[in-house]
Amino acid sequence: MRKYPLIGLTLHELEDIAIAGNMPRFVGRQLAQWIYGKRVESFDEMNNISRRNREWLAEHYVVGREKPVKKMRSSDGTVKYLFPAGEGRSVETVYIPDKERATLCVSSQVGCKMNCYFCATGKMGFKAQLTAHQIINQILSAGASDGLSDLTNVVFMGMGEPLDNLGEVMKVIEILTAQWGFAWSPKRITVSTVGKLPELKELLDRTSVHVAISVHTADARERGQLMPAQKAFPIASVMKVLSSYDFSHQRRLSLEYIMWRGVNDDIAHAEMLVKLIGNVRCRVNLIRFHAVAGVDLVPCSEERMLMMRNCLNSHGIIATIRASRGEDILAACGMLSTSCKQ
């Protein structure tokens, strides 16, 4: 009999399990505290739950911690993990240390339906949705046995389009931010998306997490060639939705902009981006392109990136050049893929 994992379940679901096992409802809260607060890996460690109840739980369920099957460490300290994702599949997760911060870049799907031309994950095609269990397991298990610093932030910028798996991603956000779960501030979480509507609006209405939008060019025709999602979710429509939300306080909106030589790296593109942003309060992350097999785009020069940054700054838009991390282990932006590991 297959035993169902408890990692990835909400407090309400854990309470239902307790009641089904003829236990008091409060045992569900105890389970949440052990799994998410104390991060135990077995029922035997849950010493405030009776032996009879622990035996019943062990007979029907598993805690559900799964270790990575492989890891690679970059010269810059970045670590890439390979986690099992069911039916012989796997996903990659990236741990990025940076002074007082330790960020985990998590995956939400095996592969991706968005098929962005410049992205290695998109070249895989879509394989499967990850469950809340498989996503939370990345957060609990990455770095757990390596002596790495505790996580300060989680970004949904790994494999997949998070808003194409919104139900499971929302469940993960609930577990991360609830007092019975990780008890994190939502400001420690960023969800990156191509701008999938209406799911983006639901995320904004139901959570307070940071949001990052993959823009890459403000030219609609050009973006459509690079990102097929532009046809269904035009960037102008996405920005119109965003304009009705307040990003002037703690919640942050970022626009992601990979720069390619001769494609989107001139002053005309900078001015188009300024016009697209309008009065929307946001910051722009300028990103170096990392080579992907079968993609004939090339990174632009450092001078072009500085020009773009300075132009945006001169218009009152905060723009920064993101430091590349983990390129030597294929862990940098746009490089995650398990197609050769399936």
- Per annotation, catalytic residue among 116, 282, 300, 333: 333
What are the residues facing 110 on neighbouring strands?
128
Considering the candidates 15, 41, 66, 92, report the single residue annotated as catalytic: 92
Beta strands at 126-129 and 109-111: parallel, antiparallel or unpaired: antiparallel
Backbone angles phi, psi at 269, to 5 degrees: -70, -35
E-assigned strands of 157-271?
A: 189-193, 210-214, 253-259
Q: In the chain, at which residue ranges do the beta strands (DSSP E only) sit? A: 4-5, 61-62, 70-73, 79-84, 90-98, 101-105, 109-111, 126-129, 153-156, 189-193, 210-214, 253-259, 283-288, 318-321
CA 200 to chain centre: 14
23 is written with which tokens? 């236990």
| Active-site annotation holds for 105 | no
Residues 247, 232: Cα–Cα separation, whole Å? 25
Per-residue three-class SS string for 21-63: CCCCCHHHHHHHHHHHHCCCCCHHHCCCCCHHHHHHHHHHEEC
Query: For the chain, percent helix, then strand, then coil, each to nearest 5?
Result: 35, 20, 45
333 flagged as catalytic: yes
Please write down the long-range contacts of 268-271, taking CB distance under 8 Å and 24 or more positions apart: 269/217, 269/218, 269/219, 269/308, 270/307, 270/308, 270/311, 270/312, 271/311
Distance CA 208, CA 173 (A): 10
Tell me which residues are annotated as active site: 92, 333
